[in-house]
Amino acid sequence: MTYTTESATTIFSNAFVTGDPSAVARTTQQFKGLTVDEQLAVLWFLYTEMGRTVTPAAPGAARMQFAEGLLNDIKQMPPQDQLQAMRDIAGKAKTPVSRAYGVLTNNTKLAFWYQLAEWMKEGSVIPMPYGYQLSTRGKQVMANIQQLEFGQQITVLRNVAADMGIDPLA
Span 47-76, pLDDT tens digits = 877 665 554 443 345 577 888 999 999 999
**CB under 8 Å to 29, separation ≥6 — which residues?**
none
Cα–Cα distance for residue pair 62/41, rounded to 1 Å: 23
**CA-CA-CA-CA torsion sign (63, 69, 75, 80):** negative
Better pLDDT: 29 or 10: 29
Span 142-156, average pLDDT: 91
Helix (H, G, I), strand (E, B) or coil at 3: coil
Span 70-118, pLDDT tens digits = 999 999 999 999 999 999 999 999 999 999 999 998 889 988 998 898 8
Q: Is the pLDDT of residue 10 over 70?
A: no
Q: Is the pLDDT of residue 5 over 70?
A: no
What does CATH list as the number for 5-162? 1.10.2090.10
**CB under 8 Å to 15, separation ≥6 — which residues?**
57, 150, 151, 153, 154, 155, 158
Cα–Cα distance for residue pair 1/130, rounded to 1 Å: 22
Q: How far is CA 135 from the centre of its chain?
A: 19
Domains of the chain by residue range: 5-162
